[in-house]
Amino acid sequence: MIRLIKPYLEYEEIEKEMREVFDTGIFTKGVYSKSFPVEIANYTGARYAFLTTSATTALWMCLKAVGVKEGDEVVVSDFSFPATVNVIEDLGAKPIFVDVSPETYNMDVDLLKARISSATKACMFVDALGNPSGIEEIVRVCHECGIVVIEDAACGLGSSVGDRKVGNIADMTCFSFHPRKLITCGEGGAITTNNPEYARFFEYKLNHGADHQTGEYVSYGYNFRMAEIPCLMGIQQVKRIDAVIAERRRQRDYYVEQLEPLGFKAQTAAANAYHNMQSIVFVVPESIERDDLIAYLREHEIESTIGTYCQSACAYYKKKYDDVQQTGMFLQEHTITLPCYHGVDIDAVCECCASYIKKAESM
């Protein structure tokens, strides 16, 4: 089986440290959970970093930090995993879906301008599949309107725009350490920010409302902590993320070389954007059915999946808001994510895709 992705971590790399965790019995709030956010801040260039249980809880906390509540509007990139819009809905705010570029899959800045209103409290920009293209322009437009930008960079760790890494561009940035990500801790997430007021909010809200200096419970709060062993896993992987990204970018170029002559069209990045290649995604040729290709690959023991979702077309949101975005819907129906990790047999994947196209065209 050619898997969709495999982690860049072997058990032997952390076995010694894991034994030490078991020997000490400190499974949370130990040395690794303290040093992992420091590693994230140092890597991204952000002033502050905080750990959470997932990117979803990170996004939710950022909306809370802004004070998003019932009656507010949050403009949101339409092409993303539904967790992005779910946190807006959970707080009683109204998601305002903004369609995306058919090339980068990211929020279209001109369409954003048309959807901002006096009720807009925040903008949630998504680095689609790790691609940060357009984030600086989105931040500029939003700041001119007094709107806070929360970057859903669940897939974006290691990407950058110019000389600024993702995590050091938006007002707040959220990362994921899910198994599909370049760094996996099993589950987990992080928030970065350069804003001291937001940092202060996260310090006590992520610790049951306790002031870590005085120990006083200055507010109500939550337990969204990551445990020691997941943090240990993350620290080990941060050390080589740039090398992993460089390899995946080479793999992406080889995929493009093999598949574009067959009619596949790759996601693209802006000239000043460095895409970490969290996922290798193509729009399939017009002559074939994407779902049939996924099934064909599965029959030949190759994992693949859709690009991601048109959030406005998910059954719940389509019924409630009736605001399906055209490009987001097209991308949901016509994109495919192909395997990408160290040692993947790209030739086998491409040969299987070519075989399917030949078969489809002969029918």
Residue 363 has pLDDT above 90, yes or no: no
Helices (H), the chain: 11-24, 31-44, 55-66, 83-90, 109-115, 135-144, 196-205, 228-238, 241-259, 290-299, 315-321, 326-334, 346-362
| Per-residue model confidence (pLDDT) at position 263 | 97
Residue 277 has pLDDT above 80, yes or no: yes
Quickly tell me which residue has 């992992």 as its tokens. 36
What gap in Å lies between CA 200 and CA 204, rounded to an integer? 7
Q: What is the pLDDT averaged over residues 180-209?
A: 96
Using DSSP, state whether 348 is helix, strand or coil.
helix
Quote the pTM value: 0.96
Residue 26 has pLDDT above 80, yes or no: yes
Domains, the chain, ordered by start = 11-238 (3.40.640.10), 241-362 (3.90.1150.10)
Question: Tens digit of pLDDT for each residue in 305-351?
Answer: 999 999 999 999 999 999 999 999 999 999 999 999 999 999 999 99
Residue 215 has pLDDT above 90, yes or no: no
| Per-residue model confidence (pLDDT) at position 214 | 87
Q: What is the pLDDT averaged over residues 162-189?
A: 97
Confidence category of residue 362, pLDDT binned at 50, 70, 90: confident
Q: 189-193 and 48-52 as β-strands: parallel, antiparallel, unpaired?
A: antiparallel
Q: What is the pLDDT averaged over residues 149-170?
A: 98
The two tokens of residue 187 are 């589950």
Phi, psi (deg, nearest 5) at residue 339: -60, 140
Q: What is the pLDDT averaged over residues 266-274?
A: 98
Residue pair 196/45 in contact by the 8 Å Cβ criterion: no
Residue 57 has pLDDT above 80, yes or no: yes
